[in-house]
Amino acid sequence: MNILHSNWEKRGRIDMAQDKLKRLLVEKLDAMERNGVRKGKERIITGRRPPRDGFGPRYFLKSCGGRAFLRMNANAYLGLNTHPRVVEAEETAVRRYGAGPGAVRFISGTFEPHIKLEERLASFHGREAGMLFSAAYAAVMGVLPQLVTGETLVVSDALNHNCIINAVRLAQPAARAVYEHLDTARLEGLLEQYLGKAKRVVVVTDGVFSMRGDYAPLDVICAICRRYSELFEEGVISVVDDSHGVGAFGETGRGSEEKTAARADILIATLGKALGVNGGYVVSDRTVIDYLRETAPFYIYSNPITPSEAAAALAALEILDSGEGIGLLKKIRDLAASLRRGFRDCGRETLDGEHPIVPLLIRDTAKTRELVQRLYDRDVLATGLGYPVVPRGDEELRFQISAEHTERDIGYLLDVL
């Protein structure tokens, strides 16, 4: 009885501590709700209806009574996540290698599909070597801190993705500076300002910016980095996260580098958007990749993507780098142009561009939320970006075109709007 009583006392103290934590967490959740940044419950997809009658696929959600939704907020730009060759490659590999890698790579978790995919990614991007991560977020978090010392300046675009912001925090550079979005004159001014104050500079930017679908002028950025590299003892390194660019941008899908005829020192991207699978990667010179394999904790201490995911991603990459891929890229450019034209024809504001991210600028948070709900009521899934997620006055709906969409889908969306 004494032992039992003692255990119950311990349990009571734990429950009291948890109650205190719960109260604090409820307060934080309530504050997030008030500030408009709480995401709330996730919608659960329960099925997919194939294309028919000139419309693209529709999706079913849990507890929605069989309603079929047009999905305008997915990153699968080329529709390769459902491509028969990609699905078949994954099914074949999972039967051959099993469902998971079973270990981190340096122990015994590297499989042949991992190596083949890394080699093909390096070749696709014209680099010497490539390296897989469990996700593009993990790739950025794993790569950037390994390039930063206590005498490094990191310079970043103001609209860079959250993964870059957190990777810079993790890296703890000697200094960090932010230039206004796409303002290359300000970037150059910051490098001038830090001459003699840092040994190394890392300039990091998104290739395509996920909120707006615009892209970094990499030709100008890389030229500035080259020009100033001799003025810093350890040089100026350019790093680009082109997760929304690769497979969705450029004539052959090589992203913002292709669009601007530029080449960064280090390119990071994803397998989970246009390629339709899962995981992230980095490509660069072999020495850089060899160093990252030895030092990046997000690589060393995390399981890789599964062998079957690697096989599926390799199949998707082969499709992208073919005549079929060129056709899919043209289709999403044409559909994006059609949607932009439709917005303008009905007097709505959007941004110029060719990327399949097509923003509809609302410039009011309450109206943005209301319009997202109205679209949902008419069986359209869309993402609204309100303040403080975006600056006040930049509130928008972000529509994302997929090669699975059709002109009839675009017409339906415009009719609803």
Rounded Cα distance between 301 and 310, Å, is 18
The Cα–Cα gap between 256 and 31 comes to 38
| Nearest residue to 403 via CA among 279, 276, 213 | 276
DSSP state of 159: T
Question: How does strand 68-71 pair with strand 58-61?
Answer: antiparallel
Indicate if the alpha-carbon torsion angle 165, 166, 171, 173 is positive or negative.
positive
* Dihedral-angle region of residue 295 (phi above 0 means left; psi in -120 to 50 means alpha; beta otherwise): alpha
Q: Residue 108 catalytic?
A: no
* Strand partners of residue 201: 153, 236
Catalytic residue among 83, 161, 273, 355: 273
- Number of Cβ within a 10 Å radius of residue 171: 19
CA distance to 96, 109, 113, 285, per residue, from 91 (Å) = 9, 19, 13, 33
Catalytic residue among 134, 156, 210, 402: 210
Annotated catalytic residue, options 244, 259, 331, 355: 244
In one-letter notation, the amino acid at residue 29 is L
Q: Is 197 a catalytic residue?
A: no
Evaluate whether 356 touches 398 at the Cβ level (below 8 Å).
Answer: no
Q: Are 139 and 133 in contact (CB under 8 A)?
A: yes
The b-or-e profile of 381-390 (16+ CB within 10 A means b, else e) is bbebbbbeeb
210 catalytic per annotation: yes
First CA to last CA across the chain, in angstroms? 69
- The residues carrying an active-site annotation are 210, 244, 273
